[in-house]
Structure 1
């Protein structure tokens, strides 16, 4: 019988972290803005014309809100939709400088 040849073991491939979903990043930004402003869910939901439960689910990334709802919630927080979109884009890309959005 021959000699046993030992091969060096290769490290197991690392599974990359899943990218956050758009709805999760949007929810995070909305919640952060609401808390920074010192406002309650009920207050912002009322101004935006959505239920408190729905806004809570949006903030937790559980719901995929329409552009109309996003615009209403952003407006209730004193944000333009483009400002919210820019913040979300920065969060997802990790870019802190200017972001160019193309349609």
Structure 2
């Protein structure tokens, strides 16, 4: 029975990471991108670190400042979410990093939000739990 559940990242962390990686890949400074997006440098820093939730207008402005469309930014964030995620034990004990290397017993499965059906005791004993 798989007793690990995925730990979903917060949207602001995913988007912030995408923004920071793109800015660094372009070898641009916080000041340069913040000025181009017409936002403050501290606010851009907070966005990149996932400390602030940006409005769609701010996200579009920062994306434009980086030469991206809003759709490009969202596609990159979606690609991040589709990658394997950190997994924690259902009991809350221990954690494992799933990076594609040397992973043999951890299965990560995306499940839509909503109530989760728990296997019956019989299904769990027989290893029929999904």
TM bracket, shorter-chain basis? 0.7 to 0.9
Structure with the larger helix share: 1
Runs of 5+ unmatched residues, structure 2? 85-130
Query: Are residues 1:36 and 2:25 paired?
Result: yes
Higher relative contact order (CA 8 A, sep 6+): 2
State the distance in 1 between where 2:48 and 2:3 align.
30
Structure with the larger strand share: 2
CA displacement, residues 21-60 of structure 1 (integer Å, 9 cap, x when unaligned): 1110000000000000000000000000000000000000
- Give the root-mean-square deviation of aligned CA atoms: 1.7
The TM-score with structure 1 as length reference comes to 0.75
Runs of 5+ unmatched residues, structure 1? 1-12, 96-103
The structure number with the bigger radius of gyration is: 1
Query: Are residues 1:89 and 2:88 paired?
Result: no
State the distance in 1 between where 2:49 and 2:26 align.
18
Q: When the two structures are aligned, how many residues end up with a matched partner?
A: 83
The TM-score with structure 2 as length reference comes to 0.60
State the distance in 2 between where 1:64 and 1:23 align.
6
